[in-house]
A and B are shown apart, each in its own frame.
Chain A
Amino acid sequence: KAGVTQTPRYLIKTRGQQVTLSCSPISGHRSVSWYQQTPGQGLQFLFEYFSETQRNKGNFPGRFSGRQFSNSRSEMNVSTLELGDSALYLCATRQDPSTGELFFGEGSRLTVL
């Protein structure tokens, strides 16, 4: 079956702009988590959605937001982009929050100039 699909794979924005990233989970997976990956900081948790509800959120400013649709697809949005937002944004899905294994997408690489 198809894996986790993230779009776009690469994008370049300028400071102050906003960006929307999309994640389509594996069929049957209703939990979608988002992580920011930067060199030296590893994988930092942004938020997790399950059944269209945000069930937890990491330590990121309110400029980072997300949502989940009825088909489990998820989007995350970053407004008023800063240089420090340049990173690889990874989406990870699982059947539900009690299921252990996360399946990651290939990520969306955001560069802010």
Chain B
Amino acid sequence: GENVEQHPSTLSVQEGDSAVIKCTYSDSASNYFPWYKQELGKRPQLIIDIRSNVGEKKDQRIAVTLNKTAKHFSLHITETQPEDSAVYFCAASRPGGGADGLTFGKGTHLIIQP
């Protein structure tokens, strides 16, 4: 089945700086790569996603890049703000969900230092 590795597990950055979280996946048939944000005590929520026919996608201060050949994708957050502090999860799945559903990485705890 699919295996998603996520790094780093904890990331501390100064407010206003950029943050980058990286993920690798194992199943070359995976074509859907979402990122979820989970604030303390709250439910995970989708912040951005990308499909394998696209190499990069941006939404205001966040962007995701995908390298299908290397089987890795990254989340980029620019001009970080205190409200960006949360746990971020990457995920991957095959078309239609596949046999393993949506496989998540173990999460990155992003800390924004004032």
Query: For chain A residues 73-101, which have a beta carbon within 8 Å of chain B?
Result: 90, 97-98, 100-101
Q: How far is the CB of A45 from chain B (nearest CB, A)?
A: 4
Residue of A40, A42, A48, A106 touching B101 (CB-CB under 8 A) = A48
- Evaluate contact between A43 and B46: CB separation under 8 angstroms: no
**Could you tell me if A42 and B89 are in contact, using CB atoms closer than 8 angstroms?**
yes
Residue-by-residue, is B23-40 near A (CB-CB < 8 Å gives 1, otherwise 0)?
Answer: 000000000101010000
A binding-site residues for B, Cβ under 8 Å: 31, 33, 35, 40-45, 47-48, 55-56, 58-59, 90, 97-98, 100-102, 104-107
Q: Contact size class for B?
A: 20 to 34
Q: List 18 A-B contacts (CB under 8 A).
A: A31-B97, A33-B101, A35-B104, A42-B89, A43-B44, A43-B89, A45-B100, A45-B101, A45-B102, A48-B101, A55-B97, A100-B51, A101-B49, A102-B46, A102-B102, A104-B43, A106-B43, A107-B43
Consensus secondary structure, chain B interface: mixed
Q: B79-111: which have CB < 8 Å to A?
A: 89, 91, 95-107
